[in-house]
Amino acid sequence: MSSEPARPEPVRRHHDHGMWLVQFTARILVVCPRCGGRAVVVPLPGLAAPKYFSALLFLPRRLSCAGCGAVADWTADERGAGLVGAAPGGTEDPFFRRPLWLQTRCAGRTLWAYDADHVEALAAYVGARLRERHASPTMSMFSRLPAWMKSADRRDDMLAGLETLRALSLHSRPADRSDAAHERGDHPRHHDSILFRGGAY
């Protein structure tokens, strides 16, 4: 009895349409400043949905912890007639400067993400054997990833690290906190530019 030869698996493709890192700042999981468990940073309730993704850098934010009840608010600094927006990137959230909850050691470095959706977006990119760009690389999150994260030699390490972040996203107790998510004053970027003046974003 003959059997048909196995069909090769289709090549996994990733299409980069210019997704920005700021698009994942609508919900950020952080380490609670009071109890050390998982807290969340989101825009203040009742605000209108922003017309542009860049507006997420200026929206007032609230940090809240379901475990201990801690609450804190953030608003963008004013400088003259302009607002100084947050600058995403790095192992702390760009608003309260709290360590991100989703951090793990990976290939001798620190792999981080803002929330579970961010993890899935990174996993889709890393797991792809063919990556296609359909937008300018200027603001694309994927084009700005460090070389070690893009390397095919690091694919297995990256996928294992992202699986660890997936598991972390399901837990919230202080005891569940990653050893990578600790206090170290690792600020993402210096907030020194006025990104918005009147009118529209």
- Output the CA torsion sign for 105, 109, 114, 116: negative
Note the pLDDT of residue 55. 84
Inter-residue contact 95 to 61 (CB < 8 Å): yes
The parts of the chain modelled with pLDDT lower than 70 are 1-18, 129-139, 183-201
Note the pLDDT of residue 50. 78
pTM: 0.81
Cα 16–chain centre separation: 17
Inter-residue contact 35 to 26 (CB < 8 Å): no
| Cβ neighbours of residue 56 closer than 8 Å, sequence gap 6 or more | 22, 23, 25, 26, 43, 50
The Cα–Cα gap between 86 and 80 comes to: 17
Note the pLDDT of residue 186. 42
Note the pLDDT of residue 15. 56
Note the pLDDT of residue 13. 61
Strand partners, 103: 112
Inter-residue contact 127 to 154 (CB < 8 Å): no
